[in-house]
Amino acid sequence: MEPTSLAGYVPFDEERQRQYVEEGYWRETTFHEVLDEHAEAHPDRTALVGPNRELTYGELAASTRQIASYLAGELGLRPNERVVFQLPNCSEFVETFLACSRIGVVPVMVLPRHREAEANHVVELTDARAYVVDHDRYPNRFDFVGLADDVRAAHDSLEHVIAVTDDGAAELDECVTFGSMRDERWVNTYGEQVVETDVDPANPGVMLLSGGTTGLPKAIPRTHNDYVFQWERMAEVAGVETDWIAFPSVPIGHNASLNCIVGAALWEGATVAVEPVLKPEHLMDFIERVDGSYTLPMPTQILDILDHPDVDEYDLTSLEVLVSGGQKVPPAVVERAVERWDVGFCNIFGMAEGPLICSRPEDELAVQAHTVGRPIAPEADEVRIVGPDREENLDTGEAGELAVRGPGYFTGYFRNDEENAENFSVDGWFFTEDVLARRPDGNLEVYGRMKDTIIRGGENIYAPGVEDELIEHPKIANVAVVAIPDDRLGERPAAVVELAEGAEDVSVDELSSFLDERGIAVFKRPERLAVLPSLPRTEVGKIEKKALEDRIGDLFEASNDDQ
Ligand code: AMP
């Protein structure tokens, strides 16, 4: 099969490609070759446990061959073409993902909570030819086939909707049903064509989406080489073992799950287990049922489980290592989780663009609670903390912007010259817009997004630092510290809180004296307060400050807790 063009993809420069291969960082291995090696070495080991199916490595390799044969032969998908995935955490995701790898097709990770705006934007941006959704196998409260159909009607590139279905085949006459792809006859007819496809590990194997805290998501191409490099390093630092059950706790198409959990487990030849509903009760029940060992939830999910009234009813002692990040992990969350479950804790700073910086399970608790540790590949990952000019390297202890370059980092957003020109230097450094500092012991500490800094009369306040303190207040379950515009000082800090169970209210004065006892400077203390029944969350469960900022006027006009 002839590859199609990847115009708009920024490749690694040749010199760096050569260096990464020579130094052994890149193994020139594709996603499906990682699978095939395990399928050959231990075909009967369990690879995948889904709500409906359990597959060994041998079976997973076979099923991905069938699906790949269908996609290439019946649908005519060619190397480098894109397919949108919008699936819950399910075995069909993993099967289709690895099937695409076999034919060099690039999955694009739309998340279940994305809707028309994101879906249309992503298909427009990537010219996707197929769109994979669930119809009725998993608990959906949304018509994903309807969404995919509408997007197809608006885009000529999008020819096929593939639907995962149990018994809805009759009503889906315009769709390919997932079950029909999984058939040995496709291998008999088109298997040769699949085997002969030359998949270049230096090309993108997946496109992730940026967090989308501002505007529409950007597409982040990750090559087989750079992604597999991170799977290997993540498995190594987390100490993943072949008999572990790794399971995603956030949507599987998010880098946190796909790279750190699914990828690391596949690299090691461990088992991946998937559960489509990610609410605390479901996760606890699932961990107990499958003996889950390794996962990456958002900090708020860990808190929801720790504070769940029924937590004592579940046996979660199978947990070996918890990774958490995506937003600042309050130190108290790390301490409580380690104490309760006796787990190794990887406090991680992660970005779909590449950086994975984390504490190690064997680190001291104080390092796990207060820092994000070190890059996962310290000898290969180039990391700098730079000043506002993006040139000067700051000293140990000074907070500045994180800049990265290396064999596990992306090289540019897909078809986005403007953003790439803004955030990359000519010699390939990516500027993350996140503020970190290196401690004397070499571990890194996160201060927040550059945008998450409140500037009050010229003084910088890193909102996550104040949030870390406030979350320990007994009346507070969750909190976001945001800026409210102020004529005199520019901005003032304000808190939006979700009350803890049993708490009826809380006042600005109570917060202020609590912060006073903890030695937090007066200028950092929230001056206004709003209480919400629950804070808005992003599609992966991070507290969505953007949504709060959009409502700042309403939130604080309505609040009488002035000054
Ligand atoms: P995403 O695009 O969803 O991969 O989110 C990446 C962003 O999440 C980063 O740029 C950071 O702003 C934020 N982030 C990730 N990990 C942490 C962490 N441990 N502490 C604070 N912010 C984090």
CATH of the domain at 473: 3.30.300.30
- Any domain includes 385: no
Domain hosting residue 546, numbered range: 453-555
Strand-pairing partners, residue 348, are: 325, 358
CB 265 within 8 A of CB 45: no
Mean pLDDT of 291-317: 96
Q: Whose CA is nearest to atom 9 of ligand 1?
A: 351
Residue 391 in any domain: the answer is: no
State residue 501 phi and psi, 5-degree precision: -60, 135
**What's the pLDDT score for residue 456?**
87
| 238 inside domain | no
For residue 327, the CA-to-ligand 1 centroid distance in Å is 5
Residue 499 lies in a domain: yes
Task: Please state the rounded mean pLDDT for residues 482-505.
Answer: 91
- Cα of 217 to ligand 1 centre, how many Å? 15
Atom of ligand 1 nearest to the CA of 212: 2
The total number of structural domains that make up the chain: 2
Given a cut of 50, whether residue 562 has pLDDT beyond it is no
> Atom 22, ligand 1: which residue's CA is nearest?
327
Task: Tell me the mean pLDDT in the region 40-49.
Answer: 98
The proportion of the chain whose per-residue pLDDT surpasses 90, expressed as a percent, equals: 83
Q: What are phi and psi of 481, to 5 degrees?
A: -100, 125
Stronger pLDDT, 560 or 54, i.e. the higher one: 54
Say how many Å lie between the CA of residue 467 and the centre of ligand 1: 15
Mean pLDDT (the chain) is: 94
Contact of 48 with 247, CB cutoff 8 Å: no
Q: Which atom of ligand 1 is nearest to the CA of 432?
A: 10
Q: How confident is the model at residue 533 (pLDDT cuts 50, 70, 90)?
A: very high
CA of 430 to the centre of ligand 1 (A): 15
Name the token pair of 111: 């998340």
* Euclidean distance between CA atoms 197 and 182, whole angstroms: 19
pLDDT confidence tier of residue 44, bands split at 50, 70 and 90: very high
Structural contact between residues 55 and 177, judged by C-beta atoms closer than 8 angstroms = no
For 485, residues 6+ apart whose C-beta sits below 8 A from its C-beta are 491, 552
- The answer, yes or no, to whether residue 37 has pLDDT greater than 90, is yes
The residue contributing the CA closest to ligand 1 atom 15 is 326
* Mutational test site, ligand 1, from 110, 449, 481, max ligand atoms within 8 Å of CB: 449
Q: Which of 156, 183, 199 is the last residue of a domain?
A: 199
Q: What are phi and psi of 63, to 5 degrees?
A: -65, -35
Confidence (pLDDT) at 539 = 81
* Measured distance CA(282)–CA(151) in Å, rounded: 32
CA quadruple 508, 514, 517, 518: dihedral sign: negative
* Digit-coded pLDDT (tens) for 110-163: 999 899 989 999 999 999 999 999 999 999 889 999 999 999 999 999 999 999
Q: How far apart are CA 426 and CA 95, in angstroms?
A: 39
pLDDT exceeds cutoff 80 at 561: no
Does residue 248 belong to any structural domain of this protein?
no
Given pLDDT bands bounded at 50, 70 and 90, which one contains residue 487? confident
CATH number for the domain harbouring residue 188: 3.40.50.980
- Examine the fold and report which residue of 199, 231, 248 is the final residue of a domain before the chain moves on: 199
pLDDT for 449: 83
Which of 49-53, 66-70, 218-222, 244-248 has the lowest average pLDDT? Answer: 49-53
Q: Which atom of ligand 1 is nearest to the CA of 255?
A: 4
| pLDDT of 296 | 98
Taking only the tens place, the pLDDT of each residue in 68-120 is 999 999 999 999 999 999 999 999 999 999 999 999 999 999 999 899 989 99
- 260 CA from centroid of ligand 1 (Å): 14
For ligand 1, the distance from its centroid to the CA atom of residue 509, given in whole angstroms, is 31
Q: Is residue 329 part of a domain?
A: no
- Residues having CB closer than 6 A to ligand 1 are 210-211, 255, 325-329, 348-352, 372, 432, 434, 446, 449
Kindly report the protein residue whose alpha carbon is nearest to atom 10 of ligand 1.
Answer: 351
Question: What number is the average pLDDT over the span 490-505?
Answer: 93
Q: What is the percentage of the chain residues whose pLDDT exceeds 70?
A: 98
Residue at a domain's end among 136, 171, 199: 199
How many whole angstroms separate alpha carbon 150 and alpha carbon 456?
46
| Candidate from 351, 357, 468 with most ligand 1 atoms within 8 A of CB, to mutate | 351
**pLDDT tier at 457 (50, 70, 90 boundaries)?**
confident
114 within a domain of the structure (yes/no): yes
Residue 180 has what pLDDT? 95
pLDDT at residue 40 is higher than 50:
yes
Instruction: Please tell me the distance between residue 325's alpha carbon and the centre of ligand 1 in angstroms.
Output: 7
pLDDT for residue 212: 56
Take atom 12 of ligand 1 and give the residue whose Cα is closest.
449
Residue 404, in any domain of the structure: no
pTM of the entire structure? 0.91
Say what the pLDDT of residue 559 is.
Answer: 46
